[in-house]
């Protein structure tokens, strides 16, 4: 297994620097658009947790455009110039994995995740609050169990800077494995935040499309 040497530290520094740049300078301009579904003028204000989740989500929006762009580049290079790349397919898979993994945070914040409401909608608000607590406990239990069981493996992948083993050989395992744990932990934090926000309301908070 390779160790976290200079190239590894450069990877970490580059990704961290870009993420911080986006989160603090670019994302704040996009957050109002992403929050519009729930947090309109009459809706609840955004919490700090909501802001962080929406800033992360704003980055994922552009991953789709990046994947589209590099795949177009690959098609041109492969079929026009007969010079296929060794990195486009793996980078698109990498970004797609991040989107699949982290996009659930935005769905959770916007309350657009799948819910079975056949019973929830016919009971009074007091019973709904009890059901919301039970749902949050289940979410947090699952997220914490995944993190607890996977943490050692994820940290081993990161500490040894495990590479993908291909010609391009990016550090996909070293980054994606810890990201699973981080996402699960933040999912539980967002679920608790939703519970607190919804608990204070006389009616459950639902996306505009469900109203």
Q: What kind and span of H or E run contains 157?
A: helix 125-159
Q: Which residues have C-beta within 8 Å of that of residue 87, sequence separation ≥ 6?
A: 168, 170
Whether residue 1 is predicted with pLDDT greater than 50 in this model: the reply is no
Query: For residue 205, what pLDDT is reported?
Result: 67
pTM for the full predicted model: 0.84
Q: Please state the rounded mean pLDDT for residues 4-22.
A: 73
Tens of pLDDT along 58-88? 888 888 888 999 999 999 999 999 999 999 9
Planar angle of CA 59, 95, 155, nearest 5 degrees: 95
Query: For residue 199, what pLDDT is reported?
Result: 84
Asked if 19 and 59 count as a contact pair (C-beta separation under 8 A), the reply is yes
Whether residue 204 is predicted with pLDDT greater than 80 in this model: the reply is no
Please give the structure tokens belonging to residue 55.
């800033």
Q: Please state the rounded mean pLDDT for residues 96-113.
A: 89
Whether residue 131 is predicted with pLDDT greater than 50 in this model: the reply is yes
Whether residue 6 is predicted with pLDDT greater than 80 in this model: the reply is no
| 169-181 burial code (b ≥16 CB/10 A, e <16) | ebbbbbbbbbbbb
């Amino acid at each position: 297994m390779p160790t976290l040497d200079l190239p590894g530290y450069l990877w970490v520094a580059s990704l961290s620097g870009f993420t911080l740049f986006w989160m603090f300078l670019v994302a704040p301009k996009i957050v109002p658009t992403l929050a519009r579904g729930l947090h309109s003028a009459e809706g609840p204000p955004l919490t700090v947790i909501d802001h962080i989740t929406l800033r992360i989500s704003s980055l994922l929006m552009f991953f789709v455009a990046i994947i589209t762009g590099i795949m177009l580049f690959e098609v041109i290079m492969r079929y026009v110039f007969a010079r296929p790349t060794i990195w486009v397919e793996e980078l698109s898979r990498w970004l797609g994995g991040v989107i699949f993994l982290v996009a659930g945070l935005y769905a959770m914040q916007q309350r657009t995740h799948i819910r079975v409401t056949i019973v929830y909608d016919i009971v009074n608000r007091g019973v709904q609050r009890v059901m919301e607590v039970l749902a949050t406990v289940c979410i947090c239990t699952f997220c914490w169990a995944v993190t607890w069981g996977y943490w050692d493996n994820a940290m081993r992948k990161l500490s040894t800077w495990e590479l993908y083993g291909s010609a391009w050989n990016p550090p996909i395992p070293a980054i994606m494995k810890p990201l699973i744990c981080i996402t699960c932990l933040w999912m539980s934090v967002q679920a608790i935040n939703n519970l607190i926000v919804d608990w204070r309301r006389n009616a459950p908070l639902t996306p505009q499309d469900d109203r």
